[in-house]
């Protein structure tokens, strides 16, 4: 008789219990008997420091059976992975959640995907937590800033205090950030990691939120939340019109990080138009510019992020800008236009002044008066001008027949 099909590629709390029957071979040594597994008994044995201890019990042999745990928080849609538990207990951290739903089944340790019991479900509801969307980041190597949000349904007297835990010691918040309702929604702590031995630092640190007699804990990994300072020792060098920029990796709260752990972003800004000319990433600690316009001025900035050695999504701070090249376009066009307008105006003023001055001299000059002899000569009656005027014939003659007639009588009188 063949065994019933109980194989599955994934676990689910909704699977039916796996029941096996005798698998008969040709030899009695090949006989295998699968006994149906019963669902476990699940209890809450202890609630301490924002954590809940679940204890499991089964009727089957404890050394051969393990437990399959699947859980999710009540105020979150994110499902947690199933976990194979070899002990008869498991501790779940509440963090900032108000409870959880756990499903537990019994499996055979050597064959967890073959034999599985029914699921036992347990729901634990803790006191409500009115903060969410918590985030923290480390800046300037030794300082910490955390923020959080308050739920709308929070009572009016809800006020959370913040602290940084060092073992059993709690360092209270140095400077709170508040909202319009005067509720704490953030904390800023400077130089809190300055006196910590970095070589002995753990991978994570824990912060504490307290409200009246309740407190909640949340952990963060150092390497994933650090905003790096700018890279150090940034230098520019030029050789045969080729520009090269070099830098050292930025300092970090984590010591002795390899150079391949960092990625860098370079931003090139064109100064004339104040526009981003280029922005790109590199894993090296140097870059050579080959295509920059020699007649343009640029500013360059660099920042870093932990990439390969961490899961950080936070870029570091930008470095101070360094300037490349210079604007050699001569005098702008508008300056030429302004010079032309000014020169034209000056020329017009000078021309008007000159014309006004010489026109006054021309019109103000005295008209000469004929002399007395000339007046006497003109008014004399002894000269008969009519005799000196030749008589022109009344008839027309062709232009070719005109002759010059000299009146000798008129000349005789003048003599």
- Alpha-carbon gap, residue 123 to 52, rounded angstroms: 12
Q: Is the pLDDT higher at 319 or at 276?
A: 319
User: 99's torsion region: left (phi>0), alpha (psi -120 to 50) or beta?
Assistant: left
pLDDT of 29 over the 50 cut? no
Q: Count the neighbouring beta carbons within 10 Å of the beta carbon of residue 142.
A: 16
**51 backbone dihedrals φ, ψ, rounded to 5°:** -135, 155
Residue with tokens 């538990």: 85
Greater pLDDT, 364 or 48 = 48
User: Between 262 and 13, where is the model more confident?
Assistant: 262
Q: What structural domains does the chain harbor?
A: 28-125 (2.60.40.10), 131-226 (2.60.40.10), 231-325 (2.60.40.10), 372-414 (no CATH)
C-alpha 137/C-alpha 222 separation (Å) is 9
Name beta bridge partners: 220: 205
Q: Which of 119, 216, 205 is nearest to 158 (CA)?
A: 216
User: What's the token pair of residue 327?
Assistant: 């604007």
CB 22 within 8 A of CB 32: yes
Closest CA to 17 of 38, 46, 43: 38
Structure tokens at 39: 């669902």
Contact 125, 98 (CB under 8 A): yes
**pLDDT at 256 (0 to 100):** 82
Per residue in 145-158, pLDDT tens?
A: 999 999 888 888 88
> Would the pTM count as exceeding 0.75?
no
Angstrom distance (rounded) from CA 234 to CA 322: 9
CB within 8 Å of 220: residues ≥ 6 apart: 136, 204, 205, 206, 207
H or E element that contains 346 = helix 333-364
Which tens digit of pLDDT belongs to each residue from 331-383?
A: 567 777 888 888 888 888 888 877 776 665 555 556 666 677 666 666 665 55
d(CA 5, CA 23): 12
Residue 321 and residue 234 in contact, taking contact as beta carbons nearer than 8 Å: no
What b-and-e string marks burial along 362-383, b requiring 16 or more CB atoms within 10 Å of the CB?
eeeeeeeeeeeeeeeeeeeeee
51: number of Cβ within 10 Å: 13
Please classify residue 231 by burial: count the beta carbons closer than 10 Å to its beta carbon, then call 0-12 exposed, 13-18 middle and 19+ buried.
buried
The pLDDT value recorded for residue 165 is: 87
Q: Could you tell me the two tokens for 390?
A: 């030749």
The length of the chain is 415
Looking at residues 269-274, what average pLDDT do you find?
A: 85
What average pLDDT does this structure show over 278-298? 88
Q: What is the per-residue pLDDT across 140-191, written as a single tens digit (0 to 9) for each?
A: 999 999 999 998 888 888 899 999 988 788 899 999 999 998 999 999 999 9
Residue 395: the pLDDT is: 56
Q: How confident is the model at residue 292 (pLDDT cuts 50, 70, 90)?
A: confident
CA 319-321-322 angle, 5° bins: 115
40 has a pLDDT exceeding 50:
yes
d(CA 150, CA 176): 14
Instruction: For residue 366, give both structure tokens.
Output: 């005295």
pLDDT above 80: residue 57: yes
């Amino acid at each position: 008789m063949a065994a019933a099909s109980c194989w599955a590629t994934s676990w689910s709390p909704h699977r039916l219990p796996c029941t096996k029957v005798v698998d008969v071979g040709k030899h009695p040594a090949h006989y295998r008997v699968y006994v149906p597994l019963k669902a476990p008994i699940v209890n809450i044995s202890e609630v301490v420091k924002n954590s809940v201890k679940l204890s499991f019990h089964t009727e089957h042999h404890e050394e051969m059976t393990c437990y399959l745990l699947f859980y999710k928080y009540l105020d979150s849609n994110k499902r947690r992975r199933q976990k194979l538990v070899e002990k008869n207990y498991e501790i779940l951290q509440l963090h900032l959640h108000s409870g959880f739903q756990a499903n537990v089944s019994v499996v055979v340790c050597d064959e967890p995907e073959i034999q599985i019991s029914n699921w036992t479900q347990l729901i634990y509801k803790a006191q409500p937590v009115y903060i969410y969307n918590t985030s923290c980041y480390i800046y300037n190597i030794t300082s910490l800033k955390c923020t959080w949000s308050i739920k709308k349904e929070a009572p009016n007297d809800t006020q959370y205090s913040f602290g940084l835990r060092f073992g059993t010691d709690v360092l209270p918040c140095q400077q709170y950030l508040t909202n319009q309702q005067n509720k704490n929604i953030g904390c800023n702590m400077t130089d809190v990691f300055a006196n910590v031995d970095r070589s002995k630092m753990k991978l994570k640190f824990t912060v504490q939120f307290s409200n009246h007699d309740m407190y909640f804990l949340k952990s963060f990994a150092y390497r994933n939340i650090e905003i790096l300072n700018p890279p150090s020792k940034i230098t520019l060098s030029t050789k045969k019109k080729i520009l090269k920029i070099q830098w050292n990796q930025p300092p970090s709260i984590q010591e002795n990080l390899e150079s391949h752990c960092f990625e860098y972003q370079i931003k090139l800004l064109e100064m004339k138009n104040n526009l981003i000319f280029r922005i790109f990433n590199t894993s090296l600690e140097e870059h050579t510019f080959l295509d920059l316009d020699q007649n343009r001025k640029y500013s360059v900035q660099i920042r870093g992020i932990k990439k390969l050695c961490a899961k950080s999504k936070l870029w570091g701070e930008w470095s101070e800008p360094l300037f490349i090249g210079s604007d050699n376009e001569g005098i702008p066009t508008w300056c030429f236009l302004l010079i032309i307008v000014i020169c034209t105006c000056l020329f017009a003023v000078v021309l008007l002044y000159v014309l006004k001055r010489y026109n006054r001299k021309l019109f103000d000059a005295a008209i000469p008066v004929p002399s007395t002899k000339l007046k006497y000569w003109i008014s004399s009656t002894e000269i008969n001008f009519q005799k000196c005027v030749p008589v022109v014939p009344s008839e027309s003659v062709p232009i070719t027949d005109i002759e010059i007639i000299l009146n000798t009588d008129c000349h005789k009188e003048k003599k």
